Structure 1
Amino acid sequence: MMTLVRESALMQGEILLKTKPHSAWGGAVTAQMYLPIAPTLVWEQVTDYPRWTQYFPEVTRSEVRQVISQRTKRIYQAASKAFLIFTAQVEITLNVLETHQQRVQFFLESGSFSDFTADLQLQSYAEGTILTYAVQATPTIPVPSFLIEQAIRLDLPVNLRQMRSVICAGK
């Protein structure tokens, strides 16, 4: 159930975030945003995995490596993130499970994380869609969880605004 304050904030374009610790070196976040287009149109774009490089500027490669079934894929992503005084290069192979026009679940197969899961859900709302993106990850490089949470809190809203801009322009 959404409160009036949360509904108003989403409808005005705000990105709502909840962060929490996840392991000693990891972080977890749930973000929500409203897109003023139908879930079917949002679905077409969020499941176009090569397009994720347009949504998230730090993602330098995103490709489908294997279509296992109509609902299951294996994708590869690479990213580069400037973090404090160094730049981290990460690579990840994910198993992706799609529930048509509702949900995309990402599960770690291999990569630069000791654990990683993400869950993207679409919900019809008003004249558009509420996109909820929850992710939890622990990088293999030991970085204190509070720094990861802070980076997520700063970067994710910017990335999701970019995602919304690209998705809405492509409708």
Structure 2
Amino acid sequence: MDGEILIETHPHSAWGGAVTAQMYIPSVRSHVWQELTDYSQWVKFFPDLTHSEVLSSIPGKGLAKKGGKRLYQVAKKAFFLFSAQVEIYLKTIEVTQQNIQFRMERGTFKDFSADLALQDYDRGTLLTYSVKATPTIPVPSALIQEAMKFDLPSNMKQMRRVICGS
């Protein structure tokens, strides 16, 4: 439960940031998947997320049978002397117990996407979470990346605590 959260930042647009975080969760992949796809619970994972709601399900089609959901999420974030509220409508594409892709349909970002991947590791699950985002207000990408790099480890540790029930 005290394992490190590995963080790597990546370039993403002049005003955006991209980060990949990876952590070990001492729980089997089927349980981790069940917790992660309970999207209303994401407010427990991420303290800045104030609302997370499934709007509809998207049935799987064709041979891949990838299904998903449409989500609505709201977050509040304080920066130095001001605070901001953002909202986003997301489409998820789920490959059962393997990965979830989050793609912005509309919201208060110029762009947003995230990918979450699960794989068996030792007696638990290795979770990889990659996020790319560009806010609508111009903020230098280095500042965005630093904020993501600062916030994501504590958020991921909180996610692990919730998933493991501790």
TM-score range, shorter chain: over 0.9
Aligned to 1:45: 35
Do residues 116 (structure 1) and 106 (structure 2) align?
A: no
1:160 to 144, 156, 159: 156
Letter matched to residue 106 of structure 2: S
Do residues 63 (structure 1) and 53 (structure 2) align?
A: yes
Give the 5 Å matches for 1:10-159: 13-69=3-59, 71-159=67-155
CA distance in 1, matches of 2:31, 2:2: 20
Offset at residue 88 of structure 1 (A) = 1.1
TM-score, structure 2 as length reference: 0.93
Letter matched to residue 122 of structure 1: L
Q: How many residues end up aligned between the 2 structures?
A: 160
Instruction: Say which structure is richer in helix.
Output: 1
Offset at residue 66 of structure 1 (A) = 0.9
Q: CA RMSD in A?
A: 1.2
CA distance in 1, matches of 2:74, 2:137: 16
Letter matched to residue 154 of structure 2: V
CA distance in 1, matches of 2:113, 2:97: 19
Question: CA-to-partner distance for each residue in 1:4-36, whole Å, 9 max, x for gaps?
Answer: xxxxxxx86000000022101000000000000
CA distance in 1, matches of 2:55, 2:7: 31
Secondary structure of residue in 1 paired with 2:14: coil
Letter matched to residue 107 of structure 2: G
- Which stretch has the larger CA shift, 11-20 or 156-165? 11-20
Secondary structure of residue in 2 paired with 1:106: strand
Offset at residue 69 of structure 1 (A) = 1.3
CA distance in 2, matches of 1:19, 1:83: 20
TM-score, structure 1 as length reference: 0.91
CA distance in 2, matches of 1:68, 1:154: 34
Letter matched to residue 123 of structure 2: E
Letter matched to residue 135 of structure 1: V
Secondary structure of residue in 1 paired with 2:156: helix
